[in-house]
Structure 1
Amino acid sequence: MTQFLGEYECKIDAKGRIMLPVGLRKQVSPEAQERFVVNRGFEQCLALYPYDEWQKISSEVNKLNLYNKKNRDFARYFFRGATELSLDGNGRILMPKPLLEYAGVKTELVLFAYSNRIEIWDKQLYDNLLTDEPEDFSALAEEVMGRTTERGNDGLS
């Protein structure tokens, strides 16, 4: 399983291409074969998945009972705009214009890599998100991470 890590500030060129930083390219599994899928993420960002990770996630969504309206709604929204992309010879990916518009990406962006995805944020929106950090991060950590049972007493080990 891919386990991305890092935060990278980038620019998008006039044609809508993003240079994927070498630090991120090194983290992509060989199984992805330099192929990705991008779709709408949560909180007005885009989610970029290596192709092999996308296959796993879409397989999970495809297991939903589509006779249930909430499941159909979720699947439609999740797959809406999903686009397969490939790295070009210079390590760039050409982003679909409608998705860039959805995320409000203009020229400067942040690639926030965690778990099996890379979130693509307009830099200003990302900076605003970070300034809206919860007042008591430790209380949030206790609420979210305190529920896990597979961790040590500090919740991290």
Structure 2
Amino acid sequence: MFRGVNTLSLDSKGRMAIPTRYRDQLARSCNGQMVLTVNALDSDHCLLLYPQPEWEEIERKIMKLSSFNKQTRKLQRMLVGHATECEMDGNGRILLPPPLREFSGLNKEVVLIGQGNKFEIWDDGMWNTRRGEWLKDEGTGDDKLPPDLESLSL
């Protein structure tokens, strides 16, 4: 289970060090083998980083969907088409390929957000902007909670 917000720096080669607190879990669960892809589910241009076994399960489900549906084809093209295998090196770093860094507007400072079975990787400035927007939108009544979240007590 990955959780938490981590501010990190990319090195000159586009590598990001995975925080130490996640490394053992990633070594056990996937031997440091991960898959990086784009977030195609909404307009936020962040990257998604999955342990390889988690990704393979999602990929199987996506590819079983009918490609006759326009939205399904788009999802398949974006998520699977951009999926890139990456391996954690001996120093706990992964390389973020240039096309994916460009897609998500990543510069030197990035934010790694734990999301349970995966991570999101954001440009630091974009993360702060979007987080501010989400906090401002809270309580406006524009978005209703799904029924399964209405009983959740925080």
Q: Normalising by the residue count of structure 2, what TM-score does the alignment of the two structures yield? A: 0.87
Of 28, 31, 48 in structure 2, the residue corresponding to residue 30 of structure 1 is 28
Query: Which whole-Å CA distance do the structure 1 matches of 2:148 and 2:70 have between them?
Result: 31
From the two aligned structures, give the one with the greater helix fraction. 2
What SS class does the counterpart of residue 148 from structure 2 fall into?
A: coil
Q: What code does the residue aligned with 1:37 have?
A: V
Moved more, 78-87 or 61-70: 61-70
- Structure 2: runs of 5 or more not aligned: none
Q: 4+ residue stretches of structure 1 with deviation over 6 A? A: none
Residues matched between the structures, number: 151
Q: Percent identity between the aligned chains?
A: 32
- The equivalent of 2:54 in structure 1 is 53
After superposition, give the CA deviation of every residue in 1:41-99 in whole Å (9 maximum; x if it has no partner): 14010000000110111011011012333322221122222100001111100110110
What is the correspondence of 1:20-99 to structure 2 with a 5 Å cutoff?
Answer: 20-28=18-26, 30-41=28-39, 42=42, 43-99=44-100
Q: What code does the residue aligned with 2:35 have?
A: V
Native 8 Å contact 1:4 1:27 kept in 2: no
Shift of 1:138: 4.8
Cα RMSD of the aligned pairs, angstroms, is 2.3
What SS class does the counterpart of residue 133 from structure 1 fall into?
A: helix
Q: Normalising by the residue count of structure 1, what TM-score does the alignment of the two structures yield? A: 0.85
What is the correspondence of 1:123-134 to structure 2 with a 5 Å cutoff?
Answer: 123-134=124-135
Query: Which whole-Å CA distance do the structure 2 matches of 1:144 and 1:27 have between them?
Result: 32
